[in-house]
Amino acid sequence: MGVFVYLPLVLPLTALPVARLAAHHLHPRAATRLLAVAGTTLALCSTLCLALLMVIGTAQLPGNPLPDGWSDPEVRAALPYEDRTGPVAIGVLGAVVAGCAATLVRHVRTRVAAARALGAAGAGRGPGPGPGSGSEVSVVESPAPYAYALPGGPVSGRMSGRTGWRRGGTAAGTGRVVVSSALLDCLEPDEQQALFAHERAHLAGRHHRYLLLTQLAARANPFLVPLRTAVAYTTERWADEEAARAVGSRHAVARAVGKAALVSARSPFEGLAGFAAAGPVPLRVAALLDPAPAARFWPPASAHLLLAGLTATAGTAASALSSVNATVALVRVLHEATPL
């Protein structure tokens, strides 16, 4: 086992260069998936490393419930500096578990509160979903301009009275697009369609899952916070590109993003993907004014991106191998100390 058990704690640093470069040089769909997979893998390896350190640290505590053989000198000798790092790992792992649990609870509570508030407000039902979108638009009469995507099951509501919109019924499918009347009043018809397409892209792409995974990864290891920030940006860019493809005008989406950024208030439910609420808006607008990015993943757009990608891949692979090596070594030592 040796010092390899410590490597997964610091190897997330190898993913920092690719977090920045992938967000600006890869198609946002590919960048989101790449960063989410890398961040999740590195976070799992880091947490496993802490768990291994905790086992050894716990085995040395007086009155611990583990078998006496786990405190054998052979077990302690398998880990360098076990007298200091073992006990520290107990507190760190406890903080990681508590932080991840708090993130999950907040995520669930936010979605439940948003769904209940939408039903209680009697939000109007917007135009039906496009082909394969599985989502509908609900308009909330509010003086605060905002919009967000609410994933999940059905939410009932009534009409707002806007011309041409259907009455009654219950939304089903992947979720709802919630828009305030104040924000709609600030946008032209083509910009409204861009807004709807953007939020539907969040739902169709299950962007809330990528955001949640990277939030948990950042809780598990603070070195992964830049990946969480990058994924928050790439999911918005992904939705921007899907909206541009759906409405057939990149300029309409750029105008909608820019206007919404100027007038939008903070979403009443933090944590849900909101229009013009995440990522540097000027960069998003500038990207929309440029030609559509190529959807290819290989070859990379630049030598710097290739080098960063190889570094992140090597770091992720080394983290996984170090975790497996440390786990196998510890299990072997513990089995010899306490044979079945």
pLDDT digits (tens, 9 = 90+) for 62-103: 666 566 555 556 656 656 666 677 778 888 999 999 999 999
Among 87-96, 109-118, 135-144, 172-181, where is mean pLDDT lowest? 172-181
All structural domains of the chain with their residue ranges: 2-337
Confidence of residue 133 (pLDDT cuts 50, 70, 90): very low
139: pLDDT strictly greater than 90: no
pLDDT mean over 329-338? 67
pLDDT in tens, 9-44: 888 998 888 888 888 888 999 999 999 999 999 999
Three-state secondary-structure class, residue 338: coil
CA 34 centroid distance within chain: 12
Give the whole-angstrom CA distance, residue 81 versus residue 279.
42
The rounded radius of gyration (Å) of the Cα atoms in the chain is 24
CA atoms in the 13 A half-sphere facing the CB of 113: 12
pLDDT in tens, 293-321: 887 666 566 777 778 888 888 888 888 88
Cβ-based neighbours of 203, under 8 Å, separated by 6 or more:
133, 134, 135, 149, 151, 174, 175, 176, 177
Confidence of residue 161 (pLDDT cuts 50, 70, 90): very low
The residue with greater pLDDT, 271 or 218, is: 218
117: pLDDT strictly greater than 90: no
Ramachandran category for residue 27: left, alpha or beta (phi over 0 → left; psi -120 to 50 → alpha)? beta
Give the whole-angstrom CA distance, residue 22 versus residue 30.
8
- Secondary structure tally for the chain: helices H, strands E: 12, 6
For residue 280, what is the DSSP state? -
Rounded to 5 degrees, what are φ and ψ at 187? -115, 150
The residue with greater pLDDT, 9 or 166, is: 9
Give the whole-angstrom CA distance, residue 137 versus residue 193.
11
Confidence of residue 51 (pLDDT cuts 50, 70, 90): confident
Give the whole-angstrom CA distance, residue 163 versus residue 332.
71
Three-state secondary-structure class, residue 274: strand
pLDDT in tens, 248-299: 999 999 999 988 888 876 666 666 776 766 558 889 999 999 888 887 666 5
| pLDDT at site 105 | 93
Cβ-based neighbours of 191, under 8 Å, separated by 6 or more:
252, 255, 256, 259
Closest CA to 280 of 258, 251, 259: 258
Task: Sort 13 into a burial class: Cβ within 10 Å, 0-12 / 13-18 / 19+.
Answer: middle
CA triple 74-75-79, angle to 5 deg: 110
Q: In what order do the strands lie in the sheet with 175-180?
A: 124-125, 135-140, 175-180, 147-151
The residue with greater pLDDT, 159 or 339, is: 339
